[in-house]
């Protein structure tokens, strides 16, 4: 057989084995650098599978901020997006927090600036500002208390005030409004991945998998949440799937979480109802970026101390709840 006869499959197998040997080299390098730097690797549930498998801890926003604080590591490599790494740096100023790709931002967090928030605050002087953690350190510093999707209801119910200015996610705000007796003023921000999930996608998935439980993230539209069995943070979905008797689940959040769901629940099936459920920022981090981050100690999260202290008050108040 001459070289012209080599089948596509053989090229594909060669490419796969080359890629896996490169991955192994990066993983070895990361392990060595981690020891040298006394570092810990935290990964969000939306990260690429190989990053989740490599991480010391994988979790949702709330879980990761607590774990970053509790760890005695000197360096935290945060495989997630900017606001998550910032939360770790706000809570643990004695640690060096690295975000492997500096462009890994959050479009939702970018939908509000501190100047815009100050203006809105002036227009609503009696409202208490509840800020979703998907926001910048400056916006957190200007707020009264933070919340995540896991503790939003508890945070809102802990407030004695009735009027709430909720920033920046309109949809999480609407969901919390529907679950509490408070009066909400909503900012018009949204997460593009969750916003793109439509009721028709859920209806189609339910038709294809009639026995499946539907779990969605509270960043989804209320019309999508209304069609679901439950709305949870990503860790909430993982806990529910583990305990549930059900064998099939439709997962209405960024598809990266399906890696952990499958790994922790062999024998159960998970379906993603839309191919749009992807956060491109979360996928920017690769093994190569993590190795380079540890090698070059980049990109350090730096927050002015005055902003950090005020942002910490909002996060601490949330963690007390
Ligand atoms: P979780 O806190 O549920 O992991 O959500 C994070 C997030 O950014 C959702 O888009």
Partners of 39 in beta bridges: 75
For 117-167, the pLDDT digits (tens) are: 999 999 999 999 999 999 999 999 999 999 999 999 999 999 999 999 999
Give the chain's radius of gyration (CA, Å).
Answer: 21
For 49-91, the pLDDT digits (tens) are: 999 999 999 999 989 988 999 999 999 999 999 999 999 999 9
Q: Which CATH number is correct for 3-105+283-296, 3.30.43.10, 3.40.50.10800, 3.50.50.60, 3.40.50.720?
A: 3.40.50.10800
Burial class from Cβ neighbours inside 10 Å (0-12, 13-18, 19+) for residue 84 reads: buried
Domain ranges of the chain: 3-105+283-296, 109-190, 193-271
> How far is Cα 137 from Cα 310, in angstroms, rounded to an integer?
9
Instruction: Could you please state the CATH topology (level 3) that the domain comprising 109-190 is classified under.
Output: Rossmann fold (3.40.50)
Query: Residues of the chain with pLDDT > 70: what percent?
Result: 98
**In testing the pocket of ligand 1, which one of 64, 134, 195 has its CB within 8 Å of the most ligand atoms?**
134
CATH class of 193-271: alpha beta
Lining residues, ligand 1, CB within 6 Å? 45, 60-61, 134, 148-150, 191, 217, 219, 233-234
Distance 135 CA to ligand 1 centre (A): 12
Give Cβ neighbours of residue 87 (< 8 Å, ≥ 6 apart).
61, 64, 65, 68, 133, 315
For 168-193, the pLDDT digits (tens) are: 999 999 999 999 999 999 999 999 99
**In testing the pocket of ligand 1, which one of 42, 46, 64 has its CB within 8 Å of the most ligand atoms?**
46
Distance 117 CA to ligand 1 centre (A): 22
Domains 3-105+283-296 and 193-271 share a fold: yes
Ligand 1 atom 8: residue of nearest CA: 134
Distance 234 CA to ligand 1 centre (A): 6
């Amino acid at each position: 057989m001459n070289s012209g006869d080599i089948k596509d499959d053989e090229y594909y197998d060669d490419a796969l084995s080359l890629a896996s040997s490169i991955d192994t080299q990066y993983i070895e390098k990361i392990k060595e650098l981690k020891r040298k730097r006394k570092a810990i690797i935290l990964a969000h549930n939306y990260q690429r599978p190989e990053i989740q498998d490599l991480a010391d801890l994988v979790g949702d926003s709330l879980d990761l901020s607590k774990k970053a604080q509790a760890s005695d590591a000197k360096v935290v490599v945060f495989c997630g997006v900017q606001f998550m790494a910032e939360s770790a740096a706000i809570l643990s100023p004695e640690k060096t927090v690295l975000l492997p790709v500096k462009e890994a931002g959050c479009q939702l967090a970018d939908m509000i600036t501190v100047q815009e928030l100050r203006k809105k605050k002036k227009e609503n002087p009696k409202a208490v500002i509840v800020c979703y953690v998907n926001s910048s350190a400056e916006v957190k510093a200007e707020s009264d208390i933070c919340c995540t999707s896991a503790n939003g209801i508890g945070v809102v119910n802990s407030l004695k005030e009735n009027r709430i200015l909720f920033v920046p996610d309109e949809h999480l705000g609407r969901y919390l409004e529907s679950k509490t007796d408070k009066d909400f003023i909503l900012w018009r921000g949204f997460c593009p991945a969750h916003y793109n999930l439509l009721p028709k996608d859920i209806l189609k998935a339910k038709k294809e998998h009639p026995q499946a439980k539907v779990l969605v993230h509270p960043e989804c539209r209320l019309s999508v949440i209304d069609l679901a069995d439950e709305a949870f943070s990503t860790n909430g979905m993982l806990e529910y799937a583990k305990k549930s008797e059900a064998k099939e689940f439709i997962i209405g959040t960024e598809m990266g979480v399906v890696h952990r769901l499958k790994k922790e629940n062999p024998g159960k099936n998970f379906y993603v109802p839309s191919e749009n459920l992807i956060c491109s920022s979360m996928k920017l981090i690769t093994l190569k970026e993590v190795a380079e981050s540890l090698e070059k100690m980049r990109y350090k999260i730096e927050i002015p101390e005055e902003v950090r202290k005020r942002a910490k008050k909002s996060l601490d108040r949330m963690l007390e709840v």
